[in-house]
Structure 1
Amino acid sequence: MDAGAQDSVDPGGTAGAPPASRPRRVTPLTRALAALAVPVVPLYAAFLSYLVFHPPRRPHHRTPEQFGLDAEELLIPLDGSPAGRGRSLHVWLCPGGSDRVVVVGHGIGLSKSASLAQAQFLHEAGYTVAMFDHRNHGRSGTDRASWGLSRRHTDDVAAVLEHLRREAGYADARFAVFGFSFSTFPSLYLLRRPDCAVDAIICDSGPALELPPLFRNFVLAKGVPVPAPLRTEPSLGLLGRVFGSIGTAMLHAEWPPPAEDAYLRTPVLMLAGDSDSIIPVEGVRALADRYPGAEVRVLPGTEHLQGMKTAPEEYRSAVLDFLKRALG
């Protein structure tokens, strides 16, 4: 789901890219194959649902040093695994002020190296920045589970926060979490956990009020590999609906989170591109309207996760102004 400052997923497609400006020419043979392929569409949708949460790994394509960051590498155990054994999260910790920390995620199919531009300006502003790879991404551990994925990805964020507070000397710091596209959902879902309190949340290109349409949009944006017959009606419509249903079910989440407890008092900044074809700004606004502390900043002429490219100064200013208000 991720392009621009966050590079595209591309497990055979170009995630985050807007739909082609020219309509695709469909031959009679392709239409015939699309009709014949209808019976296999549910199976392919199930394959895509697993693939999108377990994408081919992409190596870190940039390093903290290239952005002037001196990063310490951490391995944080997951799911009760002993340190150094079992699943773990790989983290780049860039120390700044000990009183303000920003935990930075990434888009689906990517790694923390895609968020280095954001980490750079945060660190320059004096924040300690902890960048991590979600499970099944970058250098973090593999998790082949296909159910309860919302809880598992939220566990990733919670594990980084807990480690920084208990093991890294930031017990008294104020914390913000910065999510991108798919990681905006666990970032916001974190507020359901009273033992993982944070002081602010920043979301780039998400989340939205409804989940199934996002999977369908992902297909239309060519974010996943789909053969030509399945990108043609009648297969295309069925694929989008089944992909949306299965992908949402795999998350097994109560969404949207109820407007109660921490959702009533935690400040949330949602950055939305007005040209986002995957998570449209209307869906972001509809979700933000549920929570009194949420605000939406719309970036003009911006597609999915391209704010740092299309409006870099406005992007930085929005994030830093928000964090100044939220963390002091």
Structure 2
Amino acid sequence: MDRTLHDSASADGGATPPSAPARRRPSLLTRALATLAVPVVPLYATALSYLVYHPPRRPHHRTPEQFGLPSQELSVPLDGRPAGKGRSLHVWLCPGSADRVVVIGHGIGLSKSASLAQARFLHEAGYTVALFDHRNHGRSATDRAFWGLSARHTDDVAAVVGHLRGEAGYADARFAVFGFSFSTFPSLYLLRRPDCGVDAIVCDSGPALELPPLFRNFIMVKGVPVPAPLRTEPSLGLLSRVFGSVGTAMLQAQWPPPAEGAYLRTPVLMLAGDSDSVIPLEGVRSLAALYPKAEVRVLPDTEHLQGMKTAPDEYASAVLDFLKRALG
């Protein structure tokens, strides 16, 4: 999960999460409306679930050039069809080393422009960096599907890695995938595929062991548009349960992935803020404990996706040290 689907991006390309609302007793009118709204809550929760995976698009608010990054635009085909003949993902490729590549995603409601600060320090360290927009985001393809969304978003990551290996001259490179909040889930899920072609995973603000509680957290930080009566009991409890149930079911995924195969040998770094109110630290730690090569780096006094703001030097150092150990 990520920031609100309708607020603005911060100046450094990251996301500024909304503050948790002050807790105060709802008015009598709000409580009355919350009771009257109960019959429509399941329908509203289902609509919210769809909105999370199909958010309003926002344009790129920064470019690689503004971060001093050399780049070229790529169109990576989906569905096995040639470029220009079907759906595709939009990619900024920032060439560096031919033998070390990092593929970078983004959070829900954002685009690859939100990850340019991370791309900059990686490129300065010599890595080739490929930033991409997930489907339904940025300049990538539209996909209105309601079910099987885990496989679809994992397909996005796999498509970029596969294209770079097969079509862009990086066949022999060692690859890392860098996910953010929502994109940490498909980034880690990629290891279920025997031909994933990935040697390391970096995750910022996620993933977590359990999925349904994250949907309630998203409501509480006003990450989705929910009117005040529906954020009041008895509507709130029902909304949280249905939102969590439907939102999780739409993924159609086995979560957490079983600790077998690539999960036993692939290094994973999870960056987690100790103040994260969307994907709390304890959930990240519980998931990491399942995998022998996973490690958690805790960022103090850090909210969701705010590591590059609160501790930029520690953040960059942790990622670069991990990648040096993982990729050489």
Whichever residue aligns with residue 232 of structure 2, its letter is T
Residue in 1 that maps onto 2:17: 16
Q: Is 1:123 the equivalent of 2:123?
A: yes
Q: Secondary structure at the match of 1:190?
A: helix
Distance in 1, matches of 2:16 and 2:34, equals: 23
Shift of 1:314: 0.5
Counterparts of 1:297 and 1:178, CA distance in 2: 15
How many residues align structurally?
A: 322
Contact 2:16-2:306 at 8 Å conserved across structures = no
Structure 1 residues 89-125: Cα deviation after superposition (integer angstroms, max 9, x where no partner)? 0000000000000000000110000000000000000
Tell me what 1:172 maps to.
172
1:24 CA drift (Å): 3.8
Could you tell me how far apart the structure 2 residues matched to 1:148 and 1:24 are?
39
Q: Corresponding residue for 2:236? A: 236
The change in CA–CA distance for 1:189 and 1:55 in structure 2 (over 3 A counts) is same
* Aligned residue in 2 for 1:138: 138
1:115-146 CA-partner distances (Å, limit 9, x unpaired)? 00000000000000000000000000000001
Write out aligned runs for 1:200-219 (5 A): 200-219=200-219
Percent pairwise identity:
82
RMSD: 1.3
Q: 1:259-299: CA deviations, max 9, x gaps?
A: 00000000000000000000000000000000000000000
Residues 181 and 206, structure 1, Cα contact 8 Å, conserved in 2: yes
- 2: CA distance, partners of 1:311 / 1:215: 27
CA contact (8 A) 2:218 2:278 kept: yes
- Using the size of structure 2 for normalisation, the TM-score is 0.96
The residue type equivalent to 1:105 in the other structure is: G
- For structure 2, the residue ranges without an aligned partner over 5 or more in a row are 9-14
Question: For the Cα contact (< 8 Å) 1:277–1:304, is it kept in 2?
Answer: yes
> How far apart are the structure 1 equivalents of 2:79 and 2:61?
28
Cα deviation per residue 1:198-218 (whole Å; 9 max; x = unaligned)?
110000000000000011110
More off after superposition, 227-236 vs 91-100:
227-236
Instruction: Show the counterpart of 2:47.
Output: 47
C-alpha distance in 1, partners of 2:24/2:85?
49
User: 1:71 deviation in Å?
Assistant: 0.8
Give the structure 1 partner of residue 62 of structure 2.
Answer: 62
Contact 1:11–1:225 (CA<8 Å) still a contact in 2? no
- How do 1:300-311 residues align onto structure 2 when only pairs under 5 Å count? 300-311=300-311
Q: State the partner residue of 1:184.
A: 184
Q: 1:162 to 1:39 in 2, by over 3 A?
A: same
CA distance in 2, matches of 1:18, 1:265: 38
Within 1, Cα distance between the matches of 2:38 and 2:267?
46
Corresponding position of 1:101: 101
Amino acid aligned to 1:16? P
Residue in structure 1 matched with residue 287 of structure 2 by the alignment = 287
Deviation at 1:80, TM superposition (A): 2.0
Supply the AA of the counterpart residue of 2:253: A
In 1, Cα distance between the equivalents of 2:150 and 2:101? 24
1:37-65 deviation digits (Å, cap 9, x = unpaired): 00000000000000000000000000000
Q: Which residue of 1 aligns with 2:12?
A: none
Distance 1:191 1:16 in 2: 29
- Tell me if structure 1 keeps the 8 A contact 2:161–2:197: no
